[in-house]
Structure 1
């Protein structure tokens, strides 16, 4: 009996990888898809923490990462022993962790969030009178503190791609453009860049902003995130001028080296059963990490149901 193989790809992978996938999405979309997939083998063209999340949510599936080196700086900059000691300094706080974290990190968390639902989940916790500590992304946490007046203690790790965006290069790039310009940015970017942005949001949020853009047709839209999403934005709105925000004068070449390790040959090999199998997580680790992830997914699904109920019913005429 043949095994059912599905391939998941993040928006930051190359276009040729996305075209090989059964599902392309951001972290939240891919987590939900992996959890519900009726698959024997899940090939995850992304980075290791994403493949680990898929295994945690669908433990009966064999999850394969095409390249063993596909990690994330937010993971490599976080020593889990130090994180545990940091967390113990705040025994009365809720530990909220960004999904860009290892399975061991997730197991030390009370909630997991993605860039799409982090605002709503932390607002929900504060509305309940809770105090929050946030890890691992310092830039995202700093933006939340600035935007909403929180005083969350923050872990100090950064995405090495987003952290390269800087205000000086952005000012120079936008000043060189004739006509109107806009900036949209991922919250992993530094705070001075986020303060300048016309929109701050998740990968999917930025894509939806582009899809619905209805302002000056000659505008230049700068995007402060990994360049993989520009492919999807260009497909959605070929009429717009969309460029990656510069990281220094004249440079628009900011890529995640770990995402780009997913190439056609490696993905094909993973689809044939070769690659890095996520088989090293113990049942205890997966159980501990699953709880905060499922808490997040339940929250997001409840929000989606509420939003659907608020939509006006279509009336036949």
Structure 2
């Protein structure tokens, strides 16, 4: 009997890869889909931590990553032994970790969050009187501390793509459109000075929905401070709008995640035949420990987002 295959793709992959997928989405959407997928093989066209999350949530499936090099700077910049010591130095805090983290990192966490639900989950914890430490994304944590007056201790890692956005380049971009109306939407992995200028800060799906619902000036310019893959979906939804990636320095609108772009057509096709990187190296102990904070997030989200 032929094995059933489901292919998942993140919004940051190329249009050609998204067109090959059974489901395209952000981290939360793809986690939910992977958990419930009735498939023998899950091909995850994204990065390694996403494929690991799919395996943790659906351990009976064979999960395949198309390219071995598809990592994430937030993972690479985090030493798990140092993280464990940092957590132990805050014994009275709840450890909230962004989903952009390794399975071993998740296993040291009390809650996992995505960029879509991080605001609500941390607000929920503070409403319960809890104290929180946040890892691994320093920029996201700094924005939450600024926006809501939290005092969360933060781990110090950044997304190498979002961290390149900067206020000076944005000021030049805004000036370059002359008197035309303009707006900025940004992912919370961006630096705080960028987020402070934004008309909307939110997840990949949140930004896409903002564009879909945009009712501003038809001749305006929308600058998007995130990886360029999502611009395909935005322009598909609203082809009449002038949508541009925010620059990272004067004139450059070319900010891509090198790891996402390793998901080539050839690599995904091989993975669909089971020939990619199989996520079979996680220990049962790590998977069990990581599953608890992920499921805590999914349960919260299922009640909160209806």
The answer, yes or no, to whether TM exceeds 0.5 is: yes
Partner SS, residue 183 of structure 1: strand
Distance 1:301 1:59 in 2: 21
Q: Which position in structure 1 is the counterpart of 2:161?
A: 161
CA offsets, 1:55-94, max 9 Å, x none?
0000000000000000000000000000000011100000
Provide TM-score, normalisation by structure 1. Answer: 0.96
Q: Which position in structure 2 is the counterpart of 1:314?
A: none
Distance 1:219 1:158 in 2: 31
Q: Which position in structure 2 is the counterpart of 1:39?
A: 39
Distance 1:296 1:71 in 2: 23
- 1:252-271 paired onto structure 2 within 5 Å: 252-271=253-272
Deviation, 1:2, is 1.1
Q: Which runs of 4+ in 1 moved over 6 A?
A: none
Distance 2:148 2:17 in 1: 38
CA offsets, 1:142-194, max 9 Å, x none?
00000000000000000000000000000001111031000000000000000
- 1:71-86 paired onto structure 2 within 5 Å: 71-86=71-86
Q: Which position in structure 1 is the counterpart of 2:223?
A: 222
CA offsets, 1:104-128, max 9 Å, x none?
0000000000000000000000000
CA offsets, 1:191-231, max 9 Å, x none?
00000000000000000000000010001000000000000
Partner SS, residue 19 of structure 1: helix
Partner SS, residue 265 of structure 1: helix
Deviation, 1:282, is 1.0
Distance 1:282 1:248 in 2: 43
Number of aligned positions between the proteins: 305
Distance 2:219 2:274 in 1: 47
Distance 2:200 2:282 in 1: 38
Deviation, 1:304, is 2.2
Partner SS, residue 196 of structure 1: coil
Q: Which position in structure 2 is the counterpart of 1:16?
A: 16
Whether 1:119 and 2:123 are equivalent positions in the alignment is: no
Distance 2:216 2:249 in 1: 28
Partner SS, residue 282 of structure 2: coil
Q: Which position in structure 2 is the counterpart of 1:95?
A: 95
Distance 2:305 2:271 in 1: 33
Q: Which position in structure 1 is the counterpart of 2:273?
A: 272
Distance 1:47 1:252 in 2: 23
Unaligned residue ranges in structure 1 (runs of 5+): 306-317
Distance 2:270 2:130 in 1: 47
Distance 1:155 1:148 in 2: 18
Distance 2:85 2:197 in 1: 35
Distance 1:100 1:201 in 2: 15
Provide TM-score, normalisation by structure 2. Answer: 0.99
Partner SS, residue 13 of structure 2: coil
Partner SS, residue 24 of structure 2: strand
Distance 2:67 2:193 in 1: 34
Distance 1:75 1:219 in 2: 37
Compute the RMSD of aligned alpha carbons.
0.4
Deviation, 1:16, is 0.1
